[in-house]
Amino acid sequence: MSYVAPVKDMLFCMKELAGLEALTRLPGFEDAGVDTAEAVLTEAARYCSEVVAPLNAESDRHPPVWRSGAVSTAAGFKRAFRQYVEGGWQGLQHPVEFGGQGLPKTIAAACSEMLNSASLSFALCPLLTDGAIEALLTAGSPEQRSFFLPKMIDGTWTGTMNLTEPQAGSDLAMVRTKAVPQGDGTYRISGQKIYITYGEHDLAENILHLVLARTPDAPPGVKGISLFLCPKYLVEPDGSLGPRNDVYCASIEHKLGIKASPTAVLVFGDDQGKVGAGALAQLIGEENRGLEYMFVMMNAARFSVGVQGIGVAERAYQRAVAYARDRVQSRPVGGSLPTGATIIHHPDVKRMLMTMRAHIEGCRALACVSAAAFDQSHHHPDAVVRQASQAFHEFTVPLVKGFSTEMSIEVTSLGIQVHGGMGYIEETGAAQHFRDSRILAIYEGTTAIQANDLVGRKTLRDGGATARAVAQQIADTERELADRTSPAAKAMHRNLHAARCAFVEVVDFVVAHTRSMPATVYAGSVPYLMLAGKVLAGWQLARALVIAENQLAQGSGDEPFLQAKIATARFFAEHILSTVPGMRDAIVNGADSVNGLAVDSF
């Protein structure tokens, strides 16, 4: 089954929901209007569907091979990556001064979704490089930025994140990797890092590892972590590559999914001298501020992982629709057809497909609006607007990451169910999407970590002010719905209002009780994230419904597309938003049953 990028829906989200034309009035984005977006998305769609998507199934069956520390990527990846680099895709949203194209994140996020629909495994290499670029832009010295960024932005070199160690997963206070100063401004890194995505590969000439490590006199815990840049090959002052650094790929993991993405165990020197004296590295920023800098990279990566969830869900949806249109099985209930019909005529199959579609469109719209807020926060001339946009973007990052990735697991599972028994057979391709999606709710911080962030940093830190400001914007949309008479608008108004009220009640509960009863609040932290994700995605579909009805009334736009928008929004209201009040009840009243069973009784 071929992949067809949903360019029309992406452009609708950008233009009608994210305010792309308003972004063109910001410094640096003057040429980034709808025409530019359409041209970029059209070319990205061609590349993803023709070059990358055909590699997805075969690379899953024949993943990378590790031999004596070197990794050979799946067949076709080198050619596809070369075309990716030649097309300038790595630099799409990065600064022009370092060789990028300087386009808004709003456009780049849509291109990223396409790449992830085409192949999650392939897309992970550019994703990690983007994060490394963001970290250097934030904390790198002027010399480091001018020396390293052009090669990363043009795709000559790629980047990685090195956080996790065998004894230090999410608890980075337990990081043991050492960084010993050499007296000349460099450091020797020794230790082991695990789960390093594209930590070793043959796609680019060099890999720049961003590594969390401790200097000898560092304080204990997270306050003693520093960030270092450690290249696979040392780089000479003229930019040419020197000898191999003391960083070695000891193995790659055998995984449930994303099999074509090499996940490396990296050894940086070691105390026994088996590899060497340690890998030479540069300090990024100041000592003991590494976690702060890494979170810049992490936040960029978390948003991107949410987009991954949308991408793989879209691919699973397209495959399920194609199968449902083709598979003949039984007569529809009610005798609407005299003979066996394709299963897309059956009500429950329609329900599953609509569940998939509504979730995807809601999450895509939310991610697009969040990306636009990021662009505003970095480019708007008004400091008040920048601050408000940053607060909104930061509030939505754990939702884009947490809700969209959990959504992708549900949607890809439904994709298998639509296929029936054939979905369980690897040859149909439906199972790969499910396997690939499963990691998304785990890496770059599990859903519980996203929920902890939503509670502690995004809700409690400002006493719920940002969350309540979002609720006020939702109330404004409710007022736009209030006088409309269509069944879709009435259903959305009723369910959006109830969902918003439930959201506000949960925010009040979190603010009132987190400090005094943390176990009570955190027992419902993931449900709070899922509730908030549903509410904000539903809000975007409510806005889309209003716009679609207005355009239909004016006789403008693509009528079938707009009618589908309205039908999808109504489904989201009646089948997804309608569950929010019950989620509120579980969060506010259900902590005792979460914590009630003694540990020994499990």
Catalytic choice (200, 361, 406, 444): 444
CB-based contacts of 284: which residues, under 8 Å, 6+ apart? 135, 136, 139, 140, 144, 210, 226, 227, 228, 229, 290, 293
Kindly provide the b/e burial profile for residues 456-487, where b requires at least 16 CB atoms within 10 angstroms of the residue's own CB.
bebbbeeebebbbebbeebeebbebbeebeee
CA neighbor of 399 nearest in space, from 500, 467, 472, 496: 467
Q: Give the chain's count of helices (H) and strands (E).
A: 20, 12
Residue 350 CA to its chain's centroid (Å): 27
The DSSP call for residue 456 is I
CB-based contacts of 96: which residues, under 8 Å, 6+ apart? 102
Q: Catalytic residue at 444?
A: yes
CA distances to 3, 344, 358, 375, 575 from 351, in Å: 22, 10, 10, 36, 9
d(CA 79, CA 84): 9
Quick check: 459 and 507 in contact, CB under 8 A? Answer: yes
- DSSP strand pairing (279-284 vs 186-197): antiparallel
Structure tokens at 215: 């200097």
CB-based contacts of 185: which residues, under 8 Å, 6+ apart? 282, 283
d(CA 488, CA 481): 10
Structure tokens at 289: 């501020």
Structure tokens at 174: 């337990």
d(CA 578, CA 494): 9
Q: Just list the catalytic residues.
A: 444
